[in-house]
Amino acid sequence: SAAEKGGYASFMLKEIAEQPRAVADTLLGRIDGSGALSLDEVRIPPKALREADKVVIVACGTAFHAGLIAKYAIEHWTRIPCEVELASEFRHRDPILDPQTLVIAVSQSGETMDTLMALRHAREQGARVLAICNTNGSTIPRESDAVLYTHAGPEVAVASTKAFLTQLVACYLVALYLAQVRGAKYGDEIRAVVRDLGAIARSVERVLDTMEPVRELARTLAHKNTVLFLGRHVGYPVALEGALKLKELAYMHAEGFAAGELKHGPIALVEDDLPVVVVVPSPRGRSVLHDKMVSNIQEIRARGARTIVIAEEGDDEVVPYADHLILVPATPTLLQPLVTTVPLQVFACELATARGNEVDQPRNLAKSVTVE
Ligand code: AGP
């Protein structure tokens, strides 16, 4: 009903707007005054976490994209090798698992059958399983060794938005906790990241406050057949997520690519006036990534692409190559997906609406996929 949507036209819009709160709630009580992580709820003994020699993340759809981003954070902060796999592919390839493997199953609903079957298989091989889940008492956390709940609140729209942002927060918390338990060598960086996480809800709110031009742009693209998304590093899974949102809501052909792969094939798709969304890494710190992305934008633009550039405030270098510029607050590279994903959600939602689609209930889809 209209009342349940709290004045918004759809649950999706309501849930997009709830993201600052969902992010803050997922952090609440998990970082103490000294900046240390306190995740007592993760009932896996610290000794087991110290001895883990591999992390394997299994998930589907949007939750899989959260897992892809988690890999960057886990490997960088903990130096533990991390694999991410689609839950539906996982057990059929006879994966290598043992008691030193920490498996992380990410699921909003906690009822996704592919993810459940993957975690059952992992436990049969003796691996420990930590669930990251948004639904209290659902099957996936019940069958796992431990659970870290995301506190997004109920997500009703089929397209995942606030659950995704809180899955990212939970993944960062797990990565930081692993680093803490194992005596990470990036102490200073980790302290800085913990501080930045505390400010992230405010950044998400600022992004939400500046979405009107994104909505306008989306409406002008309603007649297009294809939209491409490019990213590098953690921006690559963000590009995949932007494309998934557009497929499921706008029923358009949308694809995400690693920008470095362009020259290995996809650049052949670029033609006059093709909309290409580019997620630009922070110009600070890892500027090599930024420089490479700027050349990628020039390359596609020279071939006629209409560039829709998502970049950090103060990134002057991208301005000349952006047909449309969407600015997000400066955010440390690993945390950037928390701000760069939001415009892509708004973009897909608005474009779908402009095409006359029902955004809360896209055709052919179910909120939770309880069959394999
Ligand atoms: C996201 O917008 C999708 N509707 C879908 O990909 C979803 O993320 C996937 O089915 C996994 O669901 P879960 O998080 O409940 O396991």
Ramachandran category for residue 337: left, alpha or beta (phi over 0 → left; psi -120 to 50 → alpha)? alpha
Q: How confident is the model at residue 95 (pLDDT cuts 50, 70, 90)?
A: very high
Please identify which residue in the block is written with the tokens 């590093």: 233
- Closest Cα to atom 5 of ligand 1: 61
Residue 185 is among the residues annotated as catalytic for this protein: no
Please identify which residue in the block is written with the tokens 């991208």: 318
Please identify which residue in the block is written with the tokens 């939970």: 170
**pLDDT at position 1 over 80:** no
**pLDDT at position 268 over 70:** yes
Radius of gyration of the chain from its Cα atoms, rounded to whole angstroms? 20
Q: Report which ligand 1 atom has the smallest distance to the Cα of 62.
A: 8
The pLDDT score that the predictor gives to residue 286 is: 59
Between the CA of 245 and the centroid of ligand 1 the distance, in Å, is 11
**Number of Cα atoms under 13 Å in the Cβ half of residue 160:** 27
- Closest Cα to atom 3 of ligand 1: 159
Between the CA of 106 and the centroid of ligand 1 the distance, in Å, is 10
Does the interface ipTM go beyond 0.90?
Answer: yes
The pLDDT score that the predictor gives to residue 361 is: 92
**pLDDT at position 122 over 80:** yes
Average pLDDT of the residues in 155-182: 96
Average pLDDT of the residues in 86-114: 96
What is the token pair recorded at 41?
């709820």
The pLDDT score that the predictor gives to residue 3 is: 78
Q: Return the best residue to mutate from 10, 57, 62 for the ligand 1 pocket (most ligand atoms within 8 A of CB).
A: 62
What is the token pair recorded at 105?
């199953």
What residues contact residue 287 under an 8 Å CB cut-off, 6+ apart?
none
- Closest Cα to atom 7 of ligand 1: 61
The pLDDT score that the predictor gives to residue 302 is: 97
Q: Return the best residue to mutate from 106, 109, 238 for the ligand 1 pocket (most ligand atoms within 8 A of CB).
A: 109
Coil, strand, or helix at residue 73? helix
Higher pLDDT, 340 or 193: 340
Report the pocket of ligand 1 as residue ranges, CB < 6 Å: 60-63, 107-109, 112, 115, 158-160, 248, 368-369
Q: Return the best residue to mutate from 112, 116, 341 for the ligand 1 pocket (most ligand atoms within 8 A of CB).
A: 112
Give me the percent of the chain exceeding a pLDDT of 70: 99
Between the CA of 164 and the centroid of ligand 1 the distance, in Å, is 9
Give me the percent of the chain exceeding a pLDDT of 90: 88
**54, 224, 247, 367: which is the annotated catalytic residue?**
367
- Closest Cα to atom 4 of ligand 1: 159
**Which segments of the chain does DSSP mark as H helices, in order?**
11-17, 19-27, 46-51, 61-78, 87-90, 113-124, 139-142, 162-181, 187-198, 200-208, 212-220, 235-250, 287-302, 337-354
At what angle are helices 19-27 and 200-208 packed, to 10 degrees? 170
**pLDDT at position 186 over 90:** no
Q: Report which ligand 1 atom has the smallest distance to the Cα of 108.
A: 14
The pLDDT score that the predictor gives to residue 11 is: 96
Between the CA of 336 and the centroid of ligand 1 the distance, in Å, is 21
pLDDT tens readout for residues 277-323: 999 999 986 579 999 999 999 999 999 999 999 999 999 999 999 99
The pLDDT score that the predictor gives to residue 285 is: 67
CB atoms within 10 A of CB 198: 13
CB atoms within 10 A of CB 258: 18
Average pLDDT of the residues in 325-346: 97
- Closest Cα to atom 10 of ligand 1: 61
**pLDDT at position 234 over 90:** yes
Between the CA of 352 and the centroid of ligand 1 the distance, in Å, is 18
Q: How confident is the model at residue 43 (pLDDT cuts 50, 70, 90)?
A: confident
CA distances from 66 to 73, 144, 294, 335, 342 (A): 11, 19, 25, 12, 14
Q: What pTM value is reported for the model?
A: 0.97
**Number of Cα atoms under 13 Å in the Cβ half of residue 368:** 20
Q: Report which ligand 1 atom has the smallest distance to the Cα of 367.
A: 4
Q: What is the mean pLDDT of the chain?
A: 95
Between the CA of 297 and the centroid of ligand 1 the distance, in Å, is 31
Average pLDDT of the residues in 65-72: 98
Q: How confident is the model at residue 35 (pLDDT cuts 50, 70, 90)?
A: confident
Average pLDDT of the residues in 120-141: 97
Between the CA of 161 and the centroid of ligand 1 the distance, in Å, is 10
Q: How confident is the model at residue 184 (pLDDT cuts 50, 70, 90)?
A: confident
